[in-house]
Amino acid sequence: MIKPTTMSRRIEKEFRFFLNGKAMTVRAPPCHTLLEILRYELRMTGTKEGCARGDCGECTVLLNGEPVHSCLTVMTQVEGKNVTTIEGIDPEHRLVRSFVEAGAVQCGHCTPGLIISSYALLLKRPRPTEEEVKEAIRGNLCRCTGYSKIVKAVLSAAGV
Amino acid sequence: MEVPLHDVDVLVPKDVTEVLRLLSSRRGFKLLAGGTDLLVQLRSGAVPKSDLIDISGLRELRYVKRSNGHIAIGALTTFSEIAESEIVKRYAPILAEAAETIGSVQIMNKGTIGGNIINASPAADSLPPLYVLDAELKLISLNGTRIMGISDFYKGYKMLEIRPGELLAEVKLRAMGAGEVGHFFKHGLRQGDAISVVNGAVILDLDGDKVRNAAIALGAVAPTVVRAPEAEKVLKGKKLREDVMWEASRAVLKSISPIDDVRGSAAYRREMSVNYLYMTLWRLAKEVGAV
């Protein structure tokens, strides 16, 4: 039998940030994560929840241009910052096209995180080596593809 | 079952002084830096729930500076910043090597050196380099400043020599000297994004192929990171030869007391400690042309 729980206090504060270039204001518990707010408040479900403990990289977003786990980023850490999610990447972007062309997508659950991580890499290193691609995506687990097509897709998007 | 955190308040002080005032005003706050360990621990229930002070935005604790043969690193400097710092790469390359291996790019972008020190995992990758570089920690509070050597800071498994009201503000390391070479090593169960089964740092002060001095520290093989004085003693004054390197690597067993856990057995950790030290000494010997 499920025991009825007593509702503890719920703290809410207001947070302002830029989501894919658009100014946002949300009211949320300050210790809730960016991932929870994206998926359950803003209904932006492109960012996936995998392990929710920083191991799988599925929830990767850019925070001020740097890839971070949105599952380990609480709202106070988002205040005033720029957030880029998969919805902020042009579907016609060469990286997205390369993933499709290389067959780097199977079940698709890891794909948004992988696109975000590789997007951040290409901003810093427009022509990365294979080793650099592997380092950049070492925190993005894929259980379908075996990674070789993903690495190929990133290199091909960079014209390497 | 995941612990819900909607009732946790997070305060965001504007500067260090305000953090210290909050810390002295009441007990029970936890400091949130990158959050890459703390949030996981709060949600799993491993750490009891409490209100947080989010210090991750305090830029004044985010720097790498060089002064008088030392390197000073602000506690909130991220591992990405440490790995990319020209000062760290030049004067403490073993710390840059360690920073590169911490979790993933996502973790390196948020995780801080201060957070790694305070979280006090015996497998923390930044700690062996800090032990061999004689790191000193600067703890500040409204009552003043305390400076403490890193090995005095850890009294046992996750037991820290820190007082209520204190904030870890800075880590100071010695710069590696001209005759010194060294490497960080790490054995995980996967090439990237893995927690260390054994990790360590080795510095050799060389005169040609003769070892003037050696500093060796290992992690994940005792309740805290440990130095390996017996192995260091074997090397001191000797030439970097096959038999010396093997004897030193075997001697590391006298300094470690590993346990069985989910990532490996104690016996496996003992074997990996010897092997990795041996491989690292060989790597250094080859790099300096001693073998």
CB contact under 8 A, B107 and A74: no
Whether this model's ipTM surpasses 0.85 comes out as yes
Structural domain boundaries, residue B263:
197-287
CATH code, domain with B266: 3.30.390.50
CB contact under 8 A, B36 and A31: no
CATH code, domain with B129: 3.30.465.10
Contacts of B110 in chain A (CB under 8 A): 68-69, 72-73
Read off the pLDDT of residues B220-275 as tens digits, 9 standing for 90 and up: 999 999 999 999 999 999 999 999 999 999 999 999 999 999 899 999 999 999 99
How many structural domains comprise chain B?
3
The answer on B242 and B140 residing in a single domain is no
How many structural domains comprise chain A?
2
Average pLDDT over residues A139-154: 95
The answer on B76 and B43 residing in a single domain is no
Q: Which residue of A has its CA nearest to B51?
A: A31
Q: Which residue of A has its CA nearest to B33?
A: A77
Average pLDDT over residues B280-290: 96
CB contact under 8 A, B109 and A136: no
d(CA B67, CA A71): 38
Please report the pLDDT score of residue A7 as a whole number.
54
Which SS3 state, helix, strand or coil, does residue B138 take? strand
Shortest CA gap B162–chain A (Å): 25
**Domain end residue (candidates: A88, A112, A140):** A88
Closest in B7, B103, B110 to A8, CB measured: B7
Shortest CA gap B195–chain A (Å): 10
Q: Which tokens belong to A29?
A: 């518990």
The answer on B43 and B87 residing in a single domain is no
Average pLDDT over residues A96-116: 97
Average pLDDT over residues B117-124: 96
Q: Is B4 domain-assigned?
A: no
| 3-state per-residue secondary structure call for chain B | CCCCCCCCCEECCCCHHHHHHHHHHCCCCEEECCCCCHHHHHHHCCCCCCCEEECCCCHHHCCEEEECCEEEEECCCEHHHHHHCHHHHHHCHHHHHHHHCCCCHHHHHHCEHHHHHHHCCCCCCCHHHHHHCCCEEEEEECCEEEEEEHHHHEEECCEECCCCCCEEEEEEEECCCCCEEEEEEEECCCCCCCCCCEEEEEEEEEECCEEEEEEEEEECCCCCCEECHHHHHHHCCCECCHHHHHHHHHHHHHCCCCCCECCECHHHHHHHHHHHHHHHHHHHHHHCCCC
Structural domain boundaries, residue A82:
13-88
CB contact under 8 A, B10 and A74: yes
Contacts of A63 in chain B (CB under 8 A): 109
Helix A94-102 / helix A111-124 crossing angle, nearest 10 deg = 130
CB contact under 8 A, B8 and A11: yes
CB contact under 8 A, B106 and A117: yes
Read off the pLDDT of residues A31-75 as tens digits, 9 standing for 90 and up: 999 999 999 999 999 999 999 999 999 999 999 999 999 999 999
CB contact under 8 A, B7 and A69: no
Q: Is A5 domain-assigned?
A: no
Please report the pLDDT score of residue A2 as a whole number.
44
Residue B211 pLDDT > 60, yes or no? yes
Read off the pLDDT of residues A7-42 as tens digits, 9 standing for 90 and up: 578 999 999 999 999 999 999 999 999 999 999 999
A to B CB pairs, distance under 8 Å: 99
Q: Is B179 domain-assigned?
A: no
Mutate to test the interface with B, among A74, A82, A151 (most CBs of B within 10 A): A74
Average pLDDT of every residue of chain B: 96
CB contact under 8 A, A72 and B105: no
Q: Is B184 domain-assigned?
A: no
CB contact under 8 A, A79 and B12: yes
CATH code, domain with A40: 3.10.20.30
The answer on A105 and A80 residing in a single domain is no
Contacts of A139 in chain B (CB under 8 A): 103-107, 192-193
The answer on B72 and B164 residing in a single domain is yes
Read off the pLDDT of residues A77-92 as tens digits, 9 standing for 90 and up: 999 999 999 999 999 9
CB contact under 8 A, A31 and B8: yes
Q: Which residue of A has its CA nearest to B193?
A: A139
Q: Is B213 domain-assigned?
A: yes
CB contact under 8 A, B43 and A69: no
Contacts of B80 in chain A (CB under 8 A): 66
